[in-house]
């Protein structure tokens, strides 16, 4: 079934979107409480998520992070009344498929969903390879270390900016080791609430606490003989860190509610995009755990520090997405090459991968050219008159909303802040579709 999950704190928005989707033969489910999204994803076979940007509980960006860590292939489309350039960039950076400004142009959204549905039907199980593409010397050194330590049980910490390939390296450590036929357990410390993390890791006996209705094995037990990957370890509380340290040192643990000490044989790999040394100085990360974990410390360079990797990665991703989307794109144009080489890639390889994916989807020629790139990669000269107008409207809208915000909704005060007269403000608001604007939208 083609189920779409809609998350928006405005129930009216959820209801109207789901009605429209249902009218087009999609199954739509929704929640106005972003904290419920994960549960709905667990219980339903969802093929697309549509989420609002600004919500109480998890923000849209947080939701994307959580969803992408658990279901990397699941497309997420973001909708928002606040289409600032930063909002769009951060949504795309974390892997949003696309961004629609409210009021939503439903026909466009529907045609994108139609494409995604076709892709999903075709896709069904193309094996995902974990190939690591690089021409960079520092990366090659890292790969050599990964090989050298493969036969050992030494803990490894992997650091680097978001999207640099930390998880890929962690996977390589496991698959290159003689533990590869045993379990490989990943734990995202940022997405499991502190209160659950301990029972998740240690497991519990029946009756250990109110909700412990039956015995449950923890990840330490399940991972026996294999590898545990603690992703985003910088988010782990100091309290849990102390318990983890003991497990690392003693190689033993007890289930919650039990005195029975169990020996364990598990390799620890951890990753974070935070600077752990700074966290140690701030008292947020235990120094002893830091030293214990960082026997081998792999620092993955950002993409802007290894520009020689950009084009080989682009080729690799084009091939991958050609297969996935049944396309036959050969290359990218010279102009696109120079845009890619100049771009700073704050979202690193994940951002590059998303950018290539979208370009492959929208490119109908053998070569990707700047016109196929998402808006934020275009140079001013690549913008059509329409593009320029839409950017102008976006910026104007943002400035006016900001002024209205500062003026707590008073148009007279907002006009004063903007140093224009009230009539001009009205006219501008009308031109960019803000004439029905109400204070409660801020």
Binding site for ligand ATP (CB under 6 A): 131-134, 160, 162-168, 273, 313, 349-350, 353
Is residue 167 at the binding interface for Mg ion, with CB under 5 A as the rule? yes
What length does the chain have?
A: 442
Residue nearest ligand ATP, Cβ-based: 165
Rounded Cα distance, 132 and 396, in Å: 43
- The Cα–Cα gap between 403 and 395 comes to 12
Q: What is the CA radius of gyration of the chain?
A: 24
Among ligand ATP, Mg ion, none, what binds residue 134 when CB lies within 5 to 8 Å by partner kind? ligand ATP
Least Å distance between CB 201 and ligand ATP?
20
The verdict on 161 binding Mg ion (CB under 5 A) reads no
User: Which among 110, 103, 89 is positioned nearest to 2, based on CA atoms?
Assistant: 110
Query: Could you tell me if 183 and 225 are in contact, meaning their C-beta atoms sit under 8 angstroms apart?
Result: yes
Residues 6+ positions from 25 with CB-CB distance below 8 Å = 2
- The listed partner (Mg ion, ligand ATP, none) that binds 76, CB under 5 to 8 Å by sort, is none
Which residues lie across from 267 on neighbouring strands? 227
Residues 6+ apart with CB under 8 A from 18: 4, 6, 28, 29, 30
> By the 8 A CB rule, do 367 and 333 touch?
yes
198 binds, among Mg ion, ligand ATP, none (CB under 5 to 8 A by kind): none
- Stretch near Mg ion under the rule CB under 5 A, chosen from 119-127, 136-144, 166-174, 325-333: 166-174
Other CB atoms within 10 Å distance of the CB of residue 152: 13
Bridge partners (DSSP) listed for residue 158: 271, 298
In the complex with Mg ion, the residue whose CB is nearer, 52 or 167, is 167
CA dihedral 40, 45, 49, 55 (to 10 degrees): 0
- Does position 351 interact with Mg ion (CB under 5 A)? The reply is no
Closest CB 167 distance from Mg ion, rounded Å: 4
Smallest gap, in angstroms, from Cβ of residue 274 to Mg ion? 12
When CB distances are held under 5 to 8 angstroms depending on the partner's kind, the choice from ligand ATP, Mg ion, none that residue 273 binds is ligand ATP
Q: Which helix (H) or strand (E) segment is 7 a member of? A: strand 3-7
Residues 355 and 92: their CA atoms lie apart, in Å, by 9
Which lies closer to ligand ATP via its Cβ, residue 65 or residue 255?
Answer: 65
Backbone angles phi, psi at 57, to 5 degrees: 75, -130
Nearer residue to ligand ATP within complex by CB, 269 or 400: 269
Indicate the helix (H) or strand (E) that contains 76: strand 76-80
CB-wise, 218 or 347, nearer to Mg ion? Answer: 347
Which of 158, 244 has the CB closer to Mg ion? Answer: 158
Distance CA(270)–CA(170), nearest Å, equals 8
Work out how close the CB of 216 gets to ligand ATP at its nearest, in angstroms, rounded to a whole number: 27
DSSP 3-state assignment of 173? helix
Q: Is 301 helix (H, G, I), strand (E, B) or coil?
A: coil
Least distance (Å) between residue 51 CB and ligand ATP = 18
Q: How many residues bind Mg ion (CB under 5 A)?
A: 1
Tokens 């951002």 correspond to: 351
Q: Which residue has the tokens 């969802």?
A: 46
| Binding site partner of 160, from ligand ATP, Mg ion, none, Cβ cut-off 5-8 A by kind | ligand ATP
Q: Of these partners, ligand ATP, Mg ion, none, which one is at the site of residue 350 (CB under 5 to 8 Å by kind)?
A: ligand ATP
CB nearer to ligand ATP: give 96 or 429.
96
Q: Could you tell me the smallest distance in angstroms from the CB atom of residue 123 to ligand ATP? A: 15
Shortest approach of ligand ATP to residue 352 CB, angstroms?
A: 8
Question: Which of Mg ion, ligand ATP, none sits in contact with 191, Cβ below 5 to 8 A by type?
Answer: none
Minimum CB distance to ligand ATP smaller for 44 or for 175: 175
Query: Closer CB to ligand ATP, residue 18 or residue 354?
Result: 354
32 or 188: whose CB is closer to ligand ATP? 188
| Candidate ranges 54-62, 145-153, 160-168, 173-181; the one touching Mg ion (CB under 5 A) | 160-168
What residues line the site for Mg ion (CB under 5 A)? 167
């Amino acid at each position: 079934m083609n189920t779409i999950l809609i998350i928006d704190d405005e129930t009216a928005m959820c209801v109207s979107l789901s009605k429209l989707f249902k009218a087009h033969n999609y199954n739509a489910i929704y929640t106005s409480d972003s904290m419920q999204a994960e549960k709905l994803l667990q219980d339903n076979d969802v093929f697309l998520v549509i989420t609002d940007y600004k919500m109480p509980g998890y923000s849209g960006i947080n939701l994307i992070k959580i969803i992408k860590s658990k279901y990397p292939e699941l497309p997420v489309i973001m909708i928002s009344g606040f289409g600032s350039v930063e909002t769009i960039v951060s949504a795309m950076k974390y892997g949003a498929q696309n961004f629609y400004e409210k009021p939503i142009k439903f026909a466009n959204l529907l045609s994108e969903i139609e494409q995604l549905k076709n892709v999903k039907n075709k896709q069904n199980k193309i094996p995902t390879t974990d190939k690591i593409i690089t021409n960079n010397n520092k990366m090659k050194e890292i790969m050599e270390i990964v090989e050298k330590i493969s036969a050992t049980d030494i803990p490894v910490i992997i650091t680097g900016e978001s999207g640099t390939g930390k998880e890929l390296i962690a996977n390589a450590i496991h698959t290159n080791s003689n533990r590869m036929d045993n379990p490989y357990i990943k734990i995202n410390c940022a997405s499991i609430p502190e209160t659950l993390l301990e029972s998740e890791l240690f497991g519990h006996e029946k009756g250990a606490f109110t909700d412990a209705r039956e015995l449950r094995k923890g990840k330490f037990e399940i991972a026996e003989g294999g590898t545990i990957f603690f992703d985003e370890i910088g988010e782990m509380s100091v309290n849990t860190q102390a318990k983890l340290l003991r497990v690392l040192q003693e190689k033993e643990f007890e289930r919650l509610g039990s005195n029975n000490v169990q020996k364990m044989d598990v390799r620890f790999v951890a990753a974070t995009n935070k600077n752990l040394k700074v966290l140690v100085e701030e008292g947020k990360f235990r120094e002893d755990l830091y030293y214990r974990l960082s026997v081998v410390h792999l620092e993955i360079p950002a993409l802007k520090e290894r520009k020689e990797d950009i084009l080989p990665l682009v080729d690799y991703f084009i091939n991958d997405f050609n297969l996935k989307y049944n396309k036959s794109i050969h290359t990218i144009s010279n102009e696109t090459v120079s845009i890619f080489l100049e771009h700073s890639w704050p979202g690193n390889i994940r951002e590059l991968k998303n950018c290539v994916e979208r370009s492959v989807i929208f490119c109908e020629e053998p070569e990707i050219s700047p016109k196929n790139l998402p808006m934020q990669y275009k140079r001013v000269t690549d913008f059509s008159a329409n593009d320029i107008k839409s950017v102008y409207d976006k910026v104007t809208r943002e400035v006016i909303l900001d002024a209205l915000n500062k003026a707590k909704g008073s148009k007279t005060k907002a006009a004063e802040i903007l140093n224009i007269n009230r009539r001009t403000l009205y006219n501008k608001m009308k031109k960019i579709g803000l004439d029905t604007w109400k204070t409660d939208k801020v």
